[in-house]
Structure 1
Amino acid sequence: MTRTVYLNGSWLAEADAKVSIFDRGFLFADAIYEVTGVVGGKLLEYAGHAARLQRSMAELGIACPLTQDELLAVHREIVRRNDLQEGLIYLQISRGAADRDFAFPTNAAPTLVLFTQAKAVLDNPKVKTGISVALVADQRWARRDIKTVQLLYPSMAKMQAASVGADDAWLVEDGFVTEASSATAHIISQDGTLITRGLSSAILHGITRLSVLDIARKAGLAVEERAFTPEEARDAAEAFITSATSFVLPVTQIDGQPVGDGKPGPRTLKLRQLYIENKLANAI
């Protein structure tokens, strides 16, 4: 079935949606994006994603052409038009089209695109086995807190991990893990402490990360927001990633070495269960 997509105020069949070759998102990666999960036809953690979108736009000086209420209405309408019961909504907004110039244009109209992806986000087979990660040097730009479409290096890192048989990459900078190629990295130490990197420009401020840390604290887990080393990760009792796409997903192998007993950890699986229960109850 052909998807219906949203482009600058119009609803179009995906084959009919066209963006200018002069769009700065295409020429300069001058654009930001958000991904919102959908389960049961409802939006998960929408308020957090909408707030981060506003922050990213403010950092780049891009103005959204829609109000907050209009943007929520578009999200709900794209779910309805595509009968999306489970999956993702991808939003991208660029500075717009202008003749190629490194200097930002002052009068370009932003390009706003939304499309859906049907995907089984609840019944992920990797939950039962966990994923393997390879450690890869982090060579991205310094403002990772802005959710830009500058995703070439994360894609290269994921492919580098795949070349050695791993499912994903954990990026390492100055001797510490920053994050996964498209998710937040977490470990649970042998004494049961959840450790994840603190917020800064070095990592994306994950919406799922924030929720999981809150859930962990309420469940009685000690939480430390600090950088951790690859050695700490290898010696951890459990490890996992969080994202809007994977929720909470166990990591059972790092650079070919099992994490803990090499199986999804019980605290990780409990956090996944609690997260899903909480977010489904509060979906809109």
Structure 2
Amino acid sequence: MTEFPPVSEEEFRKISEFLYRRTGMVFGETKRYYVHRRIAERMAALGYEDFSAYFHRLRADSKGEIEQFINAFTVNETYFYREDHQLRCLTNDMLAERMRAKPPGAPYRLWSVPCSTGEEPYSLALWLLENWPEVDTHEIEIVGSDIDTDCIEAARAGFYGARALMRLTPSLVEKYFEPAGPDQWRLVSDLRDSVQFSPVNIVDAGSVRAHGTFDVIFCRNVLIYFDDAARRLAAENLYESLAPGGFICLGHTESMSRVSPLFEVRRFADAIVYQRPRGKAHG
């Protein structure tokens, strides 16, 4: 890759502000080298040597460059059955409580956001099949969404390496995956078809609203990349995406109590989660 001079203070400010306005993600001074490498990759891919010329193309969104630029900055490290205590809480407590609140025949809607390359929403489908006796008696909709469109395409394809499968037993891998090359497996088509994938930006109210309302949202390890203002905005958008009485699960280092007063803390045997109070309108 062509070596570009490090971004100047002014260039770093412009890029950081652009990313923040578009995604809510904050990149401080300690991330300058990381930002420089991502910019350099995009400039080299497009044949630019001048930052100003590239930034002009980025702001104009010529040939969808904003999407590619954002994709370059997302972190997509995950694996199947990550934070499985929340999966146990889903089948032991959250779904049972939602069942008592929903009219007969209403679908249960679960949202994994960000969904990365699909491990987390597919984990929901796999876990329900293996651990929820009620699975065949209810309509279940699982949606996986991410701001990174490359991740969405990878999720739809459903190919995974050994690291992604490290928490699954050999019997589960044999049951739900097909060999697809050296250290490569593909999720069976029935499971791939059970999850809908879509792009979303959780700091954009319109983007979130388009997905409707959910019974349970898994939004893990993304709010840590936002500043306080963006976290509050994302929390409000996610609140509006929950049905009254619905639940949201965060990453183990995240706490909604420090972000927004809208949610109630629920402490179940397996996990601490956050709930949209029943019958309480926002604002």
Q: Name the TM tier (shorter chain).
A: under 0.3
TM score, norm. by length of structure 2: 0.23
Structure number with higher helix proportion = 2
Structure number with higher strand proportion = 1
Bigger Rg over Cα: 2
